Structure 1
Amino acid sequence: MNSITRLVACLVIALAFTTVQAQETKVDSTKTSANHLKIESLKDLKINIENEERDFLKSEIAAINQRLDDGKITAAEAENLKKEAAKNRALNIENRLAIIDNKIELLKRNDDTYSVEDGEEYGYVLRIGSGEEDKESFVYFGEKSNDKPRKYDRRTTTNVVFALGFNNALIEGQSLSDSPYKIANSDFYELGYAWKTRIFEDSNFWRLKYGFSFQWNKFEMKDNNYLVNTDGEISLQEFPSDLNKSKFRTTNLVFPMHIEFGPSKKIEKDNYFRYSTHKKLKVGLGGYAGLNIGSMQKLKYKDDGDRIKNKQRGGYEVNEFVYGLSGYVALGEIALYVKYDLNPIFKNQVVDQNNISVGIRFDMD
C-alpha cells in the first residue's frame, strides 16, 4: 500500500506541474499576441512616416520649381534649395523612425502591464499595473510633427462680413430730408460671409468678391404714422392714438458680388508667396440679388393707461425678389459702404420708394 500511495502522490505532483506549466505558456502566448498586434501597427506607422515625408518633399520641390519658372531664383539657387530640402526630410525620417523603433523595443521587452499607447508618435504613455488602479505616466521625447508645407499660392481668401449704419427710402418726387422715416432712428445691419479671388495670375490689382449676407433694413415712421394695407395697397396713415414708437423692418437673404480693385503688397517666402491689401486703398463696385424672407411692423402705444406692444409679421406686400447696387471704399480695415435697392419696397404702394443704406463695413483684409 505504501508503494501505491507513493505512486499516486507522484502522479498528482506531475499533473499539477504540467497544469502550471501550461498556464504559464498560455500567459506568455497571450502576452506575445497582444504586443505583437501593437508592434505590427507601429511597423505600419513607419511606412506612413516615410511616405508622408516624401510627399512633403515633393510639395517643396514643386514650390521651388514654380519659383524657378517664374524667374524669381536661378537654376543654381533652385538646385541648392532642393538639396537642402532633401537633406532635411531625410533627417526627419531618420529621427521619427528612431522613436518608433524605441517603442517597438519597449513592447518586445515588457508585458501588457507596461504598454505604449498608439497615437502619440513622439511620446510614450506608460501604464503600470492592471484594473481600475492603473497608473499612467507620460515620458516626452519631442514634439509631434505638424510640418505641412504651406500652399505656394492662395488665390482665394475668406472673410466674415459685418456692416451697419443709417437706413431710409428714396421716394419718387421727394428729397431725403422730406422722407416720412426718421433719418437718425432708421438703421440697417448686415451679416454674412464672403470669398475674395484674385482674377489674374500675376497681378492682385483686380479681385472678385462674392458671398451671401443677411440684411435687416429698419424704418421708424415720423408724425405718428404707421403702415396700413388697404386691399393690397400699402400707405402711411396716422395712428388713432399717440404712438410711442412705430417701426417697420424687412429681412433679406442676398448674394452680393463686387469687383474690387486697388494696390497690394507682395510677400515672398522660400516656399510660398502672398498678396496683402493691409492698409491699402480698396474700392468695390457691384450689386446683389436675393429674396425677402420676412417683414414686421412694431407699434408701441398706450390704451386706457395700459402699455401696448403690437408686432405684426407679414401682410405688407413686400417685394419677394430683392436686387440692387452696392459699393465700398476702404483705407485700412474699415470701409464706407452704400447699398441701394433697385426694386421698390412694396409691390403696390401709393408712391414708389426704394431702400437705401449708408454705413460702415468690416471685412477688409
Structure 2
Amino acid sequence: MKAITFCVVAFLCFVSTKLQAQEKETFEERAAAIATNIERITAQEQDSLKKEVDAINQKLENNQLTEAQAESQRQQYAEKRAKNIENRVAFEQEKLTQLVQDKVDGKVESKATKKFRFTIPGRNKEYSSYDSLGNHTITNRKQEGFERDFKRTTSWFLFATGLNRLVVDGDIDNDNFKERSEFYEWGFTWNTRIFKNNNLLHLRYGLSLQYNNFRPKDDKVFTVVDGQTVLTDSGLDLDMSRLRITNLVIPVHLEFDLGGKRVNGDKTYYPVQNSVRIGIGGYGGFNVKEKQILRYEDELGNDVKHKSKGGYNVNDFVYGVSGYIGYGSVSLYAKYDIQSLFDNEIDQNNVSFGIRFDLE
C-alpha cells in the first residue's frame, strides 16, 4: 500500500511539473522562431493582397468598376498590405534586438553551451504572432508548429512500471510477496482519432513486452510439485528470490481525450494527448520466457547467483483488461490478467498498478 501511495504521489508531482515548467529555448531556437514569424507575416499579407486584387479584377470584369477605379483600389490595398508588413515585422525586429541584448547579457544560452536537461513532452513553447487581421496573439508552438496535431494517426513509445500482485480466490496475496514485486512494460503504440472532426474518441493499439516480477518472502522459491506451481522453503538464506514472466502482447484501448479541437485562423486541428485522457481496453498475447533468479551466499562466503529458465507451469497464453487515466503523456495505469498465471487447479491472476508514459 505504501508503494502504491508513492506511485500516486509521484504521478501528481509529475503532472504538477508538466503544468508549471516551461522549457527554455536557446538563442538559435528563438532567433529561428522570429524568422519563421517574419516569413509567416509576409506570406499572410501577400495572400490577403492577392485575394483583394482578385476581387477587384472580378468587379472590373462585371463592369462594376472602371479601369481607373480598379487601379486606384489595387494601389490602396497594396499600400495597406505593405504598411501591415512594415509594422508587424518591426515588432519582430524589436524582439530580435532584445534577444541579441539578452545573449550579450548572458540571459539566454546558445545551442553550443546548452546543457542537457530532461524535458517533459508537451512542447509548451510560446511565441508572439498576428492573425490575418493584424491582431496580436500568443500562440502555443504545439498548436501551430507541429504536424502531428493535424494527423489522425500518430505513433508513440510506451513505457510503464509499477507493482505486481497475485489474486487468489478474489483476494490479493500480500502475505507471500514483497512490496517491491514489480512490472515493466515497453513497446510502441499508434493513436488513431476515430472521427474526422471530433477529438473525443481515439483508438490506441500497438505491440509491447510485459515483464512481471514476483519476489517471494521468507526465503521461498517457486517449485512445481505434482504438476502444481507452489511456493516452498528454499532452505537457504536468500538475498534475492525472483520469478520473472515475460509476455509479448497486443494492447488495444478506446481512449477518451478531453482536449477538444483548436482553431487557428482557417485551420482546425486536434492536439494529441494534450489534456486529460482516459483509456479502457485490454491486451492479448503469449508467454515468451519464464526465469527464476536466486542470489545467496554459500558456506564458503562466495556470492552465488542461480538462474533457471522454464519449467514453472506458466500458461502459454495471456489476456486481460487494462485501463489508464492521466494528463498529457503520463497516466495512472492498471492491468489484470484474466488468464491464470499458472496452469494450476486454483487460479492465480496477476494484477498490476503503476504509472504509464506515452512518449513521442
Common fold by TM > 0.5:
yes
Do residues 186 (structure 1) and 181 (structure 2) align?
yes
Query: For 1:271 and 1:254, how far apart are their aligned partners in 2?
Result: 42
Cα distance in 1 for partners of 2:228, 2:294 equals: 20
The structure 1 residue matched to 2:168, chosen from 162, 171, 182, is 171
Q: Once the 2 structures are TM-superposed, how far is the Cα of residue 266 of structure 1 from its aligned partner?
A: 2.4
Aligned-partner SS, 1:194: strand
Three-state SS of the structure 2 residue aligned to 1:204 is strand
What is the Cα deviation at residue 172 of structure 1? 1.8
Amino acid paired to 1:338: A
Answer yes or no: is 1:323 the counterpart of 2:294: no
3-state SS in 1 of match to 2:198: coil
* 1:49-97 residue CA offsets vs partner (Å, 9 max, x unmatched): xxxxxxxxxxxxxxxxxxxxxxxxxxxx8x93997xxxxxxxxxxxxxx
Matched, 1:256 2:251: yes
- Mark the runs of 5 or more structure 1 residues left unpaired by the alignment: 1-76, 84-149
Aligned to 2:200: 205
- Residue 80 of structure 1 pairs with residue 60 of structure 2: no
Partner of 2:297: 302
Distance 1:82 1:243 in 2: 85
Quick one: percent identity of the two aligned structures?
40
In structure 2, distance between residues paired with 1:281 and 1:341: 26
Distance 1:173 1:197, change over 3 A: closer
User: What's the TM-score once normalised by structure 2's chain length?
Assistant: 0.57
Aligned-pair CA distance for 1:271 = 7.7
Partner of 1:312: 308
Matched-pair contact (CA < 8 Å) for 1:345–1:354: yes
1:153 to 1:278, Cα distance in 2 relative to 1, 3 A: closer
1:181 Cα deviation from its structure 2 partner: 1.2
How many residues are treated as equivalent by the alignment?
223
Structure with bigger RCO (C-alpha 8 Å, 6+ apart): 2
Q: Deviations over 1:174-203 (max 9, x none)?
A: 44433x1112x2111111101111111221
Q: Is the 1:340–1:357 Cα contact (8 Å) retained in structure 2?
A: yes
Residue of structure 1 aligned with 2:216, choices 221, 242, 257:
221
Q: Aligned ranges for residues 148-163 of structure 1 at < 5 Å?
A: 153-163=150-160
Q: Distance in 2 between matches of 1:258 and 1:231?
A: 39
Aligned-partner Cα distance in 1 for 2:338–2:259: 33
- Whether the 8 Å CA contact 2:244–2:290 is kept in 1: the answer is yes
The one-letter code sitting in structure 2 at the alignment partner of 1:164 is T
Distance across 1 between alignment mates of 2:291 and 2:280: 30
Distance 1:164 1:333 in 2: 14
2:31 aligned residue: none
SS in 1 for 2:217: coil
Rg (Cα) greater in structure: 1
Distance 2:53 2:284 in 1: 50
- With 333-342 and 350-359 compared, the bigger mean Cα shift is at 350-359
Q: TM-score, normalised by structure 1?
A: 0.56
- CA distance in 2 between counterparts of 1:176 and 1:82 reads 77
For the structure 1 residues 81 and 346, does the alpha-carbon distance in structure 2 shift closer, same or farther, using more than 3 Å as the test? Answer: farther
In 2, the alpha carbon distance for the partners of 1:82 and 1:193 equals 50
Deviant stretches of 4+, over 6 Å: none
Matched, 1:337 2:333: yes
1:29-68 pair list within 5 angstroms: none
The SS at the match of 2:174 is helix
Determine the structure 2 residue equivalent to 1:237: 232
Cross-structure match for 1:274: 269
Supply the distance in 1 between the matched residues of 2:149 and 2:212 (Cα, whole angstroms): 42
Cα 1:332/1:154, change in 2 over 3 Å: closer
